[in-house]
């Protein structure tokens, strides 16, 4: 199949599948439907605005999948061998922008098992590689909730404060965070640590150094050390100058608790990739394993990088009832053999074409 005929999202999907296979990820094909109970039981983790449901012939309540990760991890058992899978599936979610259901095409991968530094590195590296397949102008923003959450908890101002503060961090909203801290009587020193997180973005070498004063408890120090180790591996790769730290990355869903990341492409107004480590979800499912993964939102690539088409077909072959089918078939065939795309029509209508072959004046059998 010619690469030219593929739409951008199809070309990327082919490339991503090939990339994931190289690293030993196996394809995972799943059913379009899932029992609704799965989402009802895990609604706190998914934070879904809505699920499309319907009754099966036996009355069982089913749902069109709003999430892939949960379906992959739900039936797994802990094992010594890490499970590495990739998928290419559609999900059905309420769009935050329109408030209506939307079908979204996702390609992604999950790595489940007894994870170590290499697994986290490999996943982040593959996330960067996925973005590079879409465009060389990309940025992968990396954060660590193991730093953010302990810092917020150490302020000791309650859940309402933490939620509002997380929103301010996600918005890089320093003035909002300062006002919030004042409202909750947070000390100047703690406010300064939180504000520092808002400003902690950019080159990881610089940002990591600036975080030393923010991470005062054992948990956040441990997370910072993990981030240092991860960066020391990532900085040796070809994507080093595309990877940044940014603590405004707080991914949707409540199941991330460690490294999280988001990918951006120059020219696309929102993040096209999101992922992270979600051991918390597996713990809720009473599993000892850890898990990390990400998804690429292919629907956002629709039309990306495409040049405006000036013609619908290369050649329009005009004919009428007096033109015999044999002559028409030969003409069309010959043009196709020359490499043109051809549309045989009795009227041009609104069709845009580069070249016209008009058989209406001759070609009678």
Partner 1 sequence: MLNIALPKGRLGEKIYDIFERAGYECPSIKENNRKLIFENAEKGVRYFWVKPSDVSIYVERGAADIGICGKDILAEYSPDVYELLDCKTGVCRLAVAAKKGFHDDGQNTLKVATKFVKCAEAYYASKGRDIDIIHLNGSIELAPILGLSDVIVDIVETGTTLKENDLEVVETIFPISARLIANKAGFKFKTAEIEALLSKVKLLIG
CB-CB contact of 348 with 316 (8 Å): yes
104 touching partner 1, by CB under 8 A: no
User: Quick one: 158 or 202, whose CB is closer to partner 1?
Assistant: 202
3-class state of residue 238 by DSSP: coil
Strand pairing category for 138-144 and 243-246:
parallel
* Coil vs helix vs strand at 197: helix
Among 141, 226, 258, 279, which residue sits at the site for partner 1 (rule: CB under 8 A)?
141
Q: Interface residues for partner 1 in 245-264 (CB under 8 A)?
A: 248, 264
Angle among Cα 201, 275, 12 to the nearest 5 degrees reads 105
Is 271 a binder of partner 1 (CB under 8 A)?
Answer: yes
> Is 309 a binder of partner 1 (CB under 8 A)?
no
Binders of partner 1 among residues 195 to 214 (CB under 8 A) are: 202
Question: Position of tokens 């030969």?
Answer: 330
C-alpha closest to that of 120 among 82, 73, 74: 82
> Judged by CB under 8 A, which stretch of 29-37, 45-53, 66-74, 165-173 contacts partner 1?
165-173
Cα 254 from Cα 244, distance rounded (Å): 23
CB atoms within 10 A of CB 188: 9
CB of 21 to partner 1, least distance (A): 29
Site membership for partner 1, residue 135 (CB under 8 A): no
Interacting residue with partner 1 among 7, 17, 172, 221 (CB under 8 A): 172
Q: Is 39 helix (H, G, I), strand (E, B) or coil?
A: helix
Count the site residues for partner 1 by CB under 8 A. 21
Stretch that binds partner 1, among 103-111, 133-141, 212-220, 253-261 (CB under 8 A): 133-141
- Examine residue 226 and tell whether it contacts partner 1 (CB under 8 A): no
CA dist., res. 255 & res. 40, Å (int): 15
CA dist 256 and 145 (Å) reads 8
Candidates 182, 205, 270, 299; binder of partner 1 (CB under 8 A) is 270
Chain residues binding partner 1 by CB under 8 A are 96-97, 137, 139, 141, 171-176, 202, 244, 248, 264-266, 268-271
């Amino acid at each position: 199949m010619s690469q030219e005929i593929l739409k951008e999202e199809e070309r990327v999907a082919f490339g991503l599948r090939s990339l994931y296979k190289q690293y030993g990820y196996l394809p995972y094909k799943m059913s379009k439907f899932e029992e609704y109970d799965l989402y009802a039981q895990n609604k706190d983790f998914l934070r879904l605005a809505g699920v499309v449901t319907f009754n099966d012939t036996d009355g069982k309540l089913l749902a069109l999948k709003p999430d892939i990760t949960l379906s992959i991890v739900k039936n797994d058992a802990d094992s010594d061998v890490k499970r590495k899978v990739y998928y290419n599936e559609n999900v059905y979610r309420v769009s935050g922008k329109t408030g209506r259901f939307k079908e979204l095409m996702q390609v992604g991968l999950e790595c489940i098992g007894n994870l170590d530094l290499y697994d986290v590195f490999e996943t982040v590296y593959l996330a960067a590689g996925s973005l590079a397949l879409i465009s060389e102008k990309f940025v992968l923003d990396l954060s660590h909730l193991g730093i953010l959450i302990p810092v917020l908890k150490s302020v000791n101002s309650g859940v309402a404060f933490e939620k509002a503060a997380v929103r301010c961090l996600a918005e890089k909203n320093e003035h909002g965070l300062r006002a919030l801290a004042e409202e909750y009587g947070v000390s100047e020193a703690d406010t300064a640590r939180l504000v520092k997180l808002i400003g902690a973005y950019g080159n990881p070498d610089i940002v990591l150094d600036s975080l030393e004063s923010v991470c005062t408890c054992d948990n956040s120090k441990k997370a910072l050390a993990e981030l240092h180790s991860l960066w020391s591996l990532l900085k040796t790769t070809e994507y080093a100058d595309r990877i940044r730290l940014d603590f405004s990355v707080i991914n949707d869903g409540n199941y991330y608790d460690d490294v999280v990341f988001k990918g951006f492409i120059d020219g696309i107004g929102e993040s096209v990739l999101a992922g992270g480590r979600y051991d918390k979800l597996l713990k809720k499912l009473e599993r000892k394993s850890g898990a990390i993964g990400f998804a690429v939102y292919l629907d956002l690539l629709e039309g990306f990088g495409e040049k405006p088409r000036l013609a619908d077909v290369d050649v329009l072959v005009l004919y009428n009832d007096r033109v015999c089918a044999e002559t028409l078939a030969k003409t069309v065939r010959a043009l196709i053999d020359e490499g043109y795309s051809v549309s045989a029509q009795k009227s041009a209508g609104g069709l845009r074409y580069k070249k016209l072959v008009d058989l209406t004046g001759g070609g009678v059998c």
